Amino acid sequence: MTLHGFQQALSELVLSSDLRSQVADRGADALGAFDLDPRETRRLLSIAEQSGLGTGILIHRSFRLSMLVRSLPRACELLGAGLSDLVHDYWDEHLPLHYNFVWESCRFAGYLRRQLEDGSLTEPLLSDLLRIDLASMALRRGLQPEQVALDPRPGAGDLLEASTPNRLVLFCGHDPRALLTGDDPGAASPSRGEYRLVISRQPGGDLEFESA
Amino acid sequence: MGLSDPISEIPRLGVGLSFQDTLSNFVCEHLDAFDYLEVVPDSLWDDRGRGARPRYEEKQAFLDLLGFVAEHKPIIGHSIGLSIGTDDDIDPEHVEQIATWQKRYQFPWHSDHLSFNRLDHASGHSIDVGFTMPVPYDSAVLDLLASKVDTMQRRVPAPFLLENNVYYFQIPEQEMTEAEFLNRLTERTGCGLLLDLHNVYVNSRNHGFEPREFLEGFDLTRVVEMHIAGGLSVEGAYLDAHSGPCPEAVWDLLDWVMPRVPNLGGVTFEVFSTYYPKMGPERLLEELARAREATADHFAATAAC
Ligand SMILES: [Fe+2]
C-alpha cells in the first residue's frame, strides 16, 4: 500500500480539471507521477469515471466559494456573474492550502488587486469595495489592518488615519454613501473623488459606517 | 470491553444542538430546547498553521458565548481538523489544542470524522480539500487509524468517537465493508462510534442500499452519539447539506435504531449556518422537540438505572 500517493492523486482529481481530462484521455499513464500500487491505480481509474466524483468537486468548490462570498460580500456581489470565471482562474493558480477564512479571503483580495493593477480587470468600484470588506473583516474579528492585507500606514492608499482597535478610517475613491446603499452596489454610479469612510465596531459587535 | 469500558459509563445527556455562528441568539434564547451544545472547536479558532506562534487564535465572542452556555449545559467537541485518515503523523499541536478545550469545557466525550481532508501536496504545501474524503477500508489503513486513535485517547482524557463518513464516490476492491472496518476499529482501540444517521441515509440513496440492513452489520453497542440532519438533491445526487429539517426516512431510522444503542449518550441535530436563517427558530424548536420525543424512553430508562 502506498496510501500517501493514493491520497495525493485522489485530492488532485478533485482539484485539477487538467488531471481529470488527462485520466479520461490516457488512463493509467496520466497517473504516472504518483506513487501507486496496481490496486490503487485501478481504484483511481474507477473513481475518475464515477459521477460521485463530480459531486465531490461541487462540494469542494461551493465550500471554497462560500468562504469568499461570506468574507468579501460587497466585492463578490459587484463581480456578479463574472465571479465564477474569476474564482476558477484563481483556483487554477492557488491551491486550497487551508480553510482559514481570513487567510484565503486576503489571498483572493490580493489576486483581484493585482488583476486591477495590470488592467486585466476593470471594475472601477472594486478597489473601494475590497477595502471596505477587508476592513469590516478586521474589525469583526479584532485583527490589525496588516493582518487583512490592508496597508496600515496612513496615506499609503488604504487608511487615512492610524487604526485603533474598534475604528478604521478608510480612503475611498468614490462616494461611500453611494457605494454602501442598496443591495446592488454596482447599480448606483458613485461620484469619483477623495472620500473618507469611518467604520467602527459597536459594543454589541455590529459595524457602523460613517462617510464624509 | 468489561466493566472498565468508559463507553458504558457515558453520561446520558439527551438531545443536543450543533452550534453554528448564526445560532448564537437561538442558543442564548432557547437554552431549554436542548440538553447539550455540540461545538466544532476548529471553527471557533483560527489555525495559523504549524510553527506559527501563537498557532491558534481563539475568537473572543465565541469564548464568551461558550462560557455562558457552559454554566447551564454540557458542551461536547466535534472536530473537523484531525484528518485522521491522512497517511502521515498525527499533528501533536492539534491534539494538544483539543485537549486544552476538553479540559476547559469538560467535554464528557469528543469526536472527529473517519475520513481525510488534509495532506501534503506534491507541490510541497499542505492542502485542505475541504470535505471528508473516504479512506479505503483495508487492514493497513486500520493499523494507521488504530495508532492515531490510541494517541488521541492517551492525550485527551475523555472517550473519543469517530463518525461514519458520507461519501459520494466508492473505492473499489476494499478489503472490508464499512461495518467490518468500524467494528474492528472500535474493538481494537475501545473508541466509540458517532453514528450519523443522515450520512447513512445519504449513502443509501446515492449508492442504493437498504440502511437497516447496513446498520445490522454494526456493533451498535459502541454508539455513544448519533447525528440527525436534513439534506437536498443537486444534479442527481442527494447531499449531506445540513440544510433543514430531517427527512421522514431519518426519523424512521432513528426509531429503529433507538432500542439497539444501549450506550447512547446523545442525539445531536445539525443545521449549517447558511441554512438556519431559512429554517428559522420555530422549525428548529420543532425538530429538537421531535428528537426529544423520539428518544425520551431511552433517556428516561437509562437515567433510572
Ligand atoms: Fe455529522
Spell out the domain ranges in chain B.
Answer: 2-304
CB pairs under 8 A between A and B: 118
Question: What is the grid cell recorded at A98?
Answer: 487551508
pLDDT confidence of residue B305: 53
- The span from the CA of B29 to the CA of B270, in Å, is 18
pLDDT confidence of residue A183: 47
The complex's ipTM works out to 0.93
Cα–Cα distances in angstroms (integers) from residue A189 to residues A20, A157, A192, A196, B188, in the given order: 43, 22, 9, 17, 67
Question: What is the grid cell recorded at A129?
Answer: 469595495
Question: Each residue's pLDDT tens digit in chain B (305 positions)?
Answer: 445 688 888 999 999 999 998 899 999 999 999 999 999 998 888 887 777 788 888 887 889 999 999 999 999 999 998 999 999 999 999 999 999 999 999 999 999 999 999 888 777 777 888 889 999 999 999 999 999 999 999 999 999 999 999 999 999 999 999 999 999 999 999 999 999 999 999 999 999 999 999 999 999 999 999 999 999 999 899 999 999 999 999 999 999 999 999 999 999 999 998 899 999 999 999 999 999 999 999 998 766 55
In 3D, which of B244, B217, B221 has the Cα closest to residue B233?
Answer: B244
Q: Which chain A residues are within 8 Å of B126, Cβ to Cβ?
A: 97-98
pTM: 0.89
Interface with B, mutate which of A3, A97, A139 (most B CBs under 10 A)? A3
Question: Cβ of B125 and A97 within 8 Å?
Answer: yes
Cα–Cα distances in angstroms (integers) from residue A137 to residues A70, A87, A119, B91, in the given order: 10, 20, 26, 29
CA of B163 to the centre of ligand 1 (A): 7
Extended beta strands in chain B, E state: 14-18, 36-39, 45-47, 56-58, 75-78, 110-113, 116-120, 126-133, 160-163, 192-196, 223-229, 232-234, 237-239, 266-270
- The span from the CA of B13 to the CA of B11, in Å, is 6
CA of B196 to the centre of ligand 1 (A): 5
Residue A203 CB-density burial (10 A; 0-12 exposed, 13-18 middle, 19+ buried): exposed
Question: Cβ of A97 and B127 within 8 Å?
Answer: yes
**Nearest CA-CA distance, residue B248 and chain A, Å:** 24
What is the chain A residue with the closest CA to B87? Answer: A4
- The span from the CA of A97 to the CA of A103, in Å, is 10
Does A165 lie at the interface with B, CB-CB under 8 angstroms?
A: no
* Strand B223-229, strand B266-270: pairing: parallel
Does B50 lie at the interface with A, CB-CB under 8 angstroms?
A: no
Question: Cβ of B87 and A3 within 8 Å?
Answer: yes
In 3D, which of B74, B57, B69 has the Cα closest to residue B11?
Answer: B74
* Domain-wise residue ranges, chain A: 3-50, 56-211
**Protein residues placing their CB within 5 Å of the ion ligand 1:** B 196, 227
pLDDT confidence of residue A19: 94
Q: Which chain A residues are within 8 Å of B119, Cβ to Cβ?
A: 4, 7-8, 11
End-to-end CA distance of chain B: 20
Domain B2-304 has CATH 3.40.190.10: no
CA angle A98, A101, A104 (to 5 degrees): 60
